[in-house]
Amino acid sequence: MIIPQLSNMQNENETDEYKSDNKKMLARTIYAIVGGIIILNLAWWIVSLCTH
C-alpha cells in the first residue's frame, strides 16, 4: 500500500519538474525571439541611418 503511494508521489514530482522546465524553456524561447526582433530592428534602423 505504501509503495504505490510513494511511486505516485514521485511521478507527480517528476511531472511538476517537467512542467516547470517547460515553462522556463518557453519563456527563454520567447525572450530569444523578442530579443532577436529588437536587435534586427536596431540593425535595420542603423543601416537606414547610414544610407540616407
1-52: pLDDT as tens digits = 566 666 666 666 666 767 778 888 999 999 999 999 999 999 999 999 998 7
CA distance 42 to 31: 16
Read off the C-alpha cell for 17: 519538474
The reported pTM is 0.58
CA distance 19 to 10: 14
What's the chain's Rg over C-alpha atoms?
A: 22
CA distance 29 to 21: 12
CA distance 11 to 4: 10
| Structure confidence at residue 5 (pLDDT) | 67
